[in-house]
Structure 1
Amino acid sequence: MLTVTPVPRAPHTAAAFVACSLFAGGNAVGVRFSNRELDPLWGAAVRFGASALVLLAIMAGMRLSLPRGRALGGAVLFGTLNFGVTFALAYYALVRIHAGLGQTLLALVPLVALLLAVAQGQERFRAMALAGTVCAVAGVALASRASLEESVPVLSLLAVLGAVLSFAQATVLVKRLPPLHPVTMNAVGMTAAAALLFAGSALVGDTWRLPDRAATWWALVYLVVAGSVLTFVLFLQVVEGWGASRAAYVFVIIPVVTIVLSAWLDDEPLTLGLLLGAPLILLGVYLGALRPARQRDT
C-alpha cells in the first residue's frame, strides 16, 4: 500500500507560485535588453552581485543572522548550482540556441527534478507528473515555435541540458539542507554565485563596463528586483510548500509570460502557436503540479 501525499492547498503557496511565474517570465526579456549592451557573463554577474547586496541589506533590516557550519556550506552549494552554474551555462547556450528551443529544453526541469527527487529518496514517482511534463513540453514547443530540426552546436546543447540538470538538482537539494529563511538562503547563494560569475566573466575576457542606455538600466533594475530577489525568494517558498518537482513547473508557465511580454515590449509577433500551445501547458501544469493527489495502490 502506497500513500501519496496530497498537494498542499495553502493559498499562500499557490499565490507564490503564480507570482514567481509572472516575475520570472519577464527575465528573458530583461536579459535580451541587457545582452544588447553588456557581455553575457558580465551582465549576469552584475545582476546577481546587485541582487546579493539587496538581499544582504534586507537581511540586516530583518535582523537575520548569517548561517554557520553546515547551513552556510549548504547555502553556498545551493547558490553555486542554482545561480552560478545554471546561469553561466544558460547564458552561454543562448548565444547560439534560439530562445524557442532553449525554452522548450528548460521546460524539462520538472521531469528532471522529479527523477532526481525519486532517485534521492525525497519523492515517489508519479505517472501524472510524467504526463504533465510531456504535455507541457509539447505546449512550450508549439508556443515558442521551437524547431527540433534546427542545427544546434553540440556544446550549446550540452550547456542548456547542463543548466536544466543544475537547476533541478539545486531545487531538490534545498529540501536536504538545514532550514534557512528564504532571504538568507538566497543572499548567501547569490553572493557565492556572483563571485563565480565575475570570475568566469574575467576568464572569458568580457568588457567590464556599466550601461549607457536607459533601457539597459531599466532591464537590470527589473532583473535584480523582480527577476532575482522576488522570484527566488518566492520560489523557495513554493519548494517548501509543494516539493521540488511540483515547484519546478514554474518553468513551463514562464515561456507563456515571456512571449506575451516580448510581444508588448520587444515587438515579437504573437502566433497561432501560442494559442495552441498554451492549453497544453496549462493541462501539463494541472496534471503535474496542481491536480489533487489521492491515496492509491501501486
Structure 2
Amino acid sequence: MQRAPDPAALALFAACVVLAGGNAVGVRFSNRELDPLWGAFLRFGAASVILLAVMAFRRLRPPRGRALAGVVLFGVLNFGVTFALAYYALVRIHAGLGQTLLALVPLVTLLLAVAQRLERFHLLAGIGTLCAAAGVGVVSRPFQGSVPTLSLLAMLGAVLSFSQSIVLVRRLPKVHPVTMNAVGMSAAAVLLLAGSAAAGDTWKLPDRAATWWALAYVVVAGSVLTFVLYLMVIQRWGASRAAYLFVVVPVVTILLSAWLDDEPLTASLLLGTPLILLGVYLGALHERERG
C-alpha cells in the first residue's frame, strides 16, 4: 500500500526550492555593484555569524582534532572554492544557465564516489552522464561567442568542488550540521577575504538598495533558511529523495531570471535543460532511489 504524501514535507520542499531558486539571481544583482570575491565574503561572513550564534544558543560543541580539520576542508571546498568560482562565473553568465549547470552536482557526486571506490558504477549512471553532457553542450553552444570560456569552466569547476565536498562528508566523523556549516562557512569566509585581497577587490558596503536586498536575500534566505529547510526535508524524506531539489531549482531560477534579470529564454536553454535534468535523474537520483 502506497503511503499518502506528507503535506508538511511537500510544503517544506516547495519553500526550499523557491528560496534556493533565487540564490543565483541574488548573486547576479550583488555582482553588479560588489566585486565577486568581496560579495561572496560578505555573504558567508554574515551567514557564519548567524550560525555561530545558533551554535552558542544551542550550546553545540565545536569539533576537534580530525573532525575539525575535516570540517574546515569541507568549508573550503563547499563554500570557499565553489562560490568563488560561481560568483566569478555569474558576472557574465545568467542565473538560469548557471543554476542549470549546478544541477549536475548529484551526478558528478556519484561519479566521484565511484572513482573513489565509495559506490559502484551502474549502466544508468553511464547513460545519465552522456545525456547530461549532451545537455551541457546544447545549453552552452549559443553562449560561446558572448560568454567567455573561462566563465563556463568556472561554473563547471564549482560543480566539481561542490560535489567533492559532498563525497568528503561521507569520510568525516559525525558533526552536527549546524556546527559543520558554521565552522565551514567561517573557514570559507577567511579564504574568500584573502582571495579578495589578492584580486585587488574594492572593499566597500553597497550603496544601492537593490544590492542590499540581494545581499540580505542570499545571506538569510539563500544560505541560512535554505539550509535549515533542506535539513528538515532530509529528515522527513531521506537524502536521496531530498536531492530532487537539484533538478527542480533550475526551473525556478530560469523563470525568476527571465522576470527579474531579462535572461533570454532561448531554444537551446529550453531544450538543453531537460536533457541535463533527465541525465541527473537517470544517472544519480533514480539509481539511489532504487538502492
TM over 0.5: yes
Q: Structure 1 residues 114 and 230, CA, compared in 2 at 3 Å: closer, same or farther?
A: same
Q: Between 26-35 and 91-100, report the one with greater CA deviation.
A: 91-100
- Corresponding residue for 1:206? 201
What pairs up with 1:38-53 in 2 under 5 angstroms? 38-53=34-49
* Pairing 1:263–2:258 present: yes
What pairs up with 1:1-298 in 2 under 5 angstroms? 18-97=14-93, 99=95, 102-132=98-128, 134-135=130-131, 146-147=140-141, 150-151=144-145, 153=148, 155-235=150-230, 241-242=238-239, 250-268=245-263, 270=265, 280=275, 283-284=278-279, 286-287=281-282, 288-289=284-285, 293-294=289-290
> Once the 2 structures are TM-superposed, how far is the Cα of residue 48 of structure 1 from its aligned partner?
0.4
8 Å CA contact 2:71–2:184 kept in 1: the answer is: yes
Deviations 1:225-276 (A, max 9, x none): 1211133445567789336xx7665443332111111233334455666765
Alpha-carbon distance in structure 2 between the residues aligned to 1:291 and 1:17: 21
8 Å CA contact 1:107–1:140 kept in 2: the answer is: no
Alpha-carbon distance in structure 2 between the residues aligned to 1:221 and 1:36: 15
> Once the 2 structures are TM-superposed, how far is the Cα of residue 219 of structure 1 from its aligned partner?
0.8
Alpha-carbon distance in structure 1 between the residues aligned to 2:288 and 2:113: 19
Alpha-carbon distance in structure 2 between the residues aligned to 1:18 and 1:235: 10
Alpha-carbon distance in structure 2 between the residues aligned to 1:172 and 1:225: 26
> Once the 2 structures are TM-superposed, how far is the Cα of residue 29 of structure 1 from its aligned partner?
0.8
Alpha-carbon distance in structure 2 between the residues aligned to 1:165 and 1:178: 22
Alpha-carbon distance in structure 1 between the residues aligned to 2:204 and 2:267: 40
- Corresponding residue for 1:3? none
Deviations 1:79-120 (A, max 9, x none): 000000111122223334555654454333222211111122
Which amino acid counterpart does residue 36 of structure 1 have in structure 2? R
Which amino acid counterpart does residue 255 of structure 1 have in structure 2? P
Q: Structure 1 residues 236 and 10, CA, compared in 2 at 3 Å: closer, same or farther?
A: farther
- Corresponding residue for 1:4? none
Q: Structure 1 residues 39 and 275, CA, compared in 2 at 3 Å: closer, same or farther?
A: closer
Deviations 1:33-91 (A, max 9, x none): 11111111110000000000011111112221211111111111100000001111222
Which amino acid counterpart does residue 48 of structure 2 have in structure 1? A
Which amino acid counterpart does residue 147 of structure 1 have in structure 2? R
Q: Secondary structure at the match of 2:90?
A: helix
Q: Structure 1 residues 48 and 212, CA, compared in 2 at 3 Å: closer, same or farther?
A: same
8 Å CA contact 2:112–2:167 kept in 1: the answer is: yes
8 Å CA contact 1:182–1:233 kept in 2: the answer is: no
8 Å CA contact 1:105–1:161 kept in 2: the answer is: yes
Give structure 1 stretches of 5+ with no counterpart: 1-8
Which amino acid counterpart does residue 117 of structure 1 have in structure 2? A
Q: Structure 1 residues 268 and 105, CA, compared in 2 at 3 Å: closer, same or farther?
A: closer
> Once the 2 structures are TM-superposed, how far is the Cα of residue 207 of structure 1 from its aligned partner?
0.8
Give structure 2 stretches of 5+ with no counterpart: none
Alpha-carbon distance in structure 1 between the residues aligned to 2:258 and 2:159: 26
Alpha-carbon distance in structure 1 between the residues aligned to 2:12 and 2:286: 13
Which amino acid counterpart does residue 207 of structure 2 have in structure 1? D
RMSD over aligned Cα atoms: 3.4
